[in-house]
Structure 1
Amino acid sequence: MTADLDIVAAGMVTAVGLDAPSSCAAMRARLDGFQETRFLGAAGEWLIGAPVPLPRNWMGAKRLAHMAAAAIVEAFELIPEARGRTALILCLAEENRPGRLAPDSRQLLTQIEQIAEIASPIASRVITHGRPSGHVALEAARRLLASNATPFVIIVGVDSYLTSQTVNHYLARGRLLTPANSNGFIPGEAAAAILCALTGGAMRLTGIGMAREKAHIYNEMDIPFRGDAMTIAYKEAFAGSGRLHSDITLKMGDLVGETYWFQQCALAMLRTQRERSPVQPIWTLGGSLGNIGAAAVPAMLGWALSAVQHGYAPSGPILIEASSDDGACAAAVVEAR
């Protein structure tokens, strides 16, 4: 589907930087924020994680609220006229994920609005689909802007896998990276915000697609995994942008480290690319930040915006993809103005 809107500003709080410029520079340099955590693995070893080095040791929902508010304030500092004229869409972890730091989404939203001093002209919205939440938020933002309900929409994603219940849940299922398991992810946390408008940005969203995979990572029915949903998402995004897969010059993905997600990306590419093209580089967040959940898509869009503004992104359309454990898959195409 078509999804014309501009990305005009971004803010980030990550394990490699407390603002967008430092975070994007660190990810460009392939630096990481990995360190030993207070969590123990099955063999008694310290697990590796990617915590955000906040100036104060906030815990629980308060930690998420301060991270999200910092990202929002940074975006507003770049576009001060957006204050008081911006609708807020908050992206959070799946409601059924064990160990969510903020089980009451509305209460967290209120905390964020108070800390960031946001006065939204319309009711704020919460989306709880984990990593693909940002794509759902982009479609909601497109509709809000197209209806002239608000001149700006800010999408903020905040998430953390660094809780004991979450770590134990994924450790028990063999999904964390440990000395005994190379097919796992590193738990992380982050917040990222992108400010959207109809015009005025250096980067434009031109297409978006979404679908649901039946053969998801917890597939217990032994359905053959062919990457059907991500293939559909790719095709919808390409159709909306008027582009072919061979036109893409850069891919950005939430590939957190497990082979399932790389296989999904490869299958979708094999089933949608029909023309020869140069090798398309893939930039991933997992190598620097670990698995940051619902903050992934805003972070990738912010990184893409920085790369476009500073001239180190390849010239041409950028494909941004994300998917979740329950099979939700999404892809978007963005291009420099």
Structure 2
Amino acid sequence: MSEIVAMGACTPIGLWAEAAAAAYFSEISGIQLHPRFIDTGGERVSMAFVEAVESTREADRMAELALAAIRDMLTQPDGGGQEADLLLSLPAYRPGFGPEDARALVEKIRGSVESAFSLREVVTGQYDQAGGVMAIATAMNRIANGGRRHCIVVATDSYIGADSLDWIEAHQRLKTVTNPFGLIPGEAAAAMLVGPATSRNRVQVIGGGLRREIADESPGPYLGRALSRALLDATAPLVERETPIRHLFVDLNGEIWRTDSFGNALMRASSRFALGESFNVTANRVGETGAAFGVLAGILAAVGRRTRMLEGRFACICGSATSGGARAAVLLDLGERPT
């Protein structure tokens, strides 16, 4: 079993973790019309962006966001000094983010982390919305199998740039007046230090599920088979306790296939959840955050519980890669209600 030791974030609704969580649970949205970007119909594009970041290239923005999140994490009392593995969640290659950009970004993040940690291994994953969730699950498994090793999980992504916006719109994925089922571009970075469980006062990672969707299994509408299996795997630790999960953070972003897949998966795993009327869709506040989604969701849940903005002891996070079929889920024990 592992726990979240320290965390940091940089988002359109808060430049550090506590500020982002306070804004999120206060239902403050960072989505606005961008002053410069317009779609092919001549309309200004709705997006969520960090105004403090001045870079215009997506890869440069990802780096600035990531370094800000790492600095936030390192300000915490236990946020440095350990020997650790570095697990990165980066976006898959696309216009505005190619192999050279990825290599430069990894080196910048490594350099920032090495000032405070002794790194043993650096692992990079590029699984978009599933990536951050997979990185948290991987950290949990490494700590469980390798003794008292720590893992630093860093996730960053940005769709705020001409290349990414053109690419999204060309594939009819951008939300516009004529395409109401598209996504709203966003950006964020999140960082967390995960270590072996030592304190009941910290959020613990107690379950994980990693699956892959096979195209032949889902003809027509996406049936969500692999995602449902990931959810069932992640929530298995609570089966004997018969404790329903009240919070589910999901990567819905307006795309129909993602909604279909999640809806079908949730029906198969419905016995594990008691969600009431809603679940947490981070894209409604910070836009599509891609590879940063899972780690950011974990931080929102952890800070929300600690500051009594989130009721309920357990939270689940699930994500699906846009391409490649990766599906992932993790289960967090947020601890007893703070006094």
Superposition TM-score, scaled by structure 2 size: 0.88
For the 8 Å contact 2:6–2:79, the answer to whether it is kept is: no
Residues 144 and 237 of structure 1, relative CA distance in 2, 3 Å threshold: closer
User: Residue type matched to 2:207 in 1?
Assistant: G
| Structure 1: segments with no counterpart, 5+ residues | none
Q: Which residue identity is paired with 2:61?
A: R
CA contact (8 A) 1:184 1:258 kept: yes
Could you tell me which residue of structure 2 aligns to residue 227 of structure 1?
224
Give the letter aligned to residue 152 of structure 2: I
**Counterpart of 1:310 in structure 2: which amino acid?**
T
The match for 2:330 is 332
- Is 1:293–2:305 an aligned residue pair? no
Task: Assess if the C-alpha contact under 8 Å between 1:66 and 1:115 holds in 2.
Answer: no
1:18-167 to 2 correspondences below 5 Å:
18-37=15-34, 38-54=36-52, 56-57=54-55, 59-80=57-78, 82-95=80-93, 97-100=94-97, 103-116=100-113, 117-148=115-146, 151-167=149-165
In structure 2, how many angstroms separate the alpha carbons of the residues matched to 1:131 and 1:321? 9
3-state SS in 1 of match to 2:128: coil
| Cα deviations by residue, 1:20-58 (Å, 9 ceiling, x for unpaired) | 111111111111112223322121112111111226547
Deviations 1:63-94 (A, max 9, x none): 32221111112112113463353332111001
For residue 167 of structure 2, the aligned residue among 159, 166, 169 is 169
> Please, which runs of 5 or more residues in structure 2 have no aligned partner?
none
| Residue pairs, 1:186-201, within 5 angstroms | 186-199=184-197, 200=199
In structure 2, C-alpha distance between the alignment counterparts of 1:152 and 1:71, rounded to whole Å:
18
Contact 1:36 1:46 in 2 (8 A): yes
- Alignment of 1:255 with 2:252, yes or no, is yes
Matched position secondary structure for 1:169: helix
- Structure-1 residue corresponding to 2:299: 302
Alpha-carbon offset, residue 323 of structure 1:
0.8
Residue aligning to 2:213: 213
Asked if structure 1 preserves the Cα contact closer than 8 Å seen for 2:222 and 2:260, the reply is no
Change (3 A) 1:184 1:56: closer
SS at structure 2 position matched to 1:287: helix
Distance in 2, matches of 1:281 and 1:114, equals 41
Q: Which residue of 1 aligns with 2:202?
A: 202
SS of residue paired to 2:136? helix
* Cα deviation, residue 279, structure 1: 1.5
Q: Where does residue 8 of structure 1 map in the other structure?
A: 5
Letter aligned with residue 230 of structure 2: A
> Cα gap change, 1:280/1:153 in structure 2, threshold over 3 Å: closer, same or farther?
farther
After alignment, is 232-241 or 293-302 more displaced?
Answer: 232-241
TM-score by length of 1: 0.88
Residue 147 of structure 1 deviates from its aligned partner by: 4.6
Task: Give the aligned residue type for 2:261.
Answer: Q
Identity %: 27
Q: 1:204 to 1:230 in 2, by over 3 A?
A: same
Shift of 1:168: 1.3
Residue of 257, 263, 267 corresponding to 2:264? 267
RMSD over aligned Cα atoms: 2.6
Whether 1:182 and 2:183 are equivalent positions in the alignment is: no
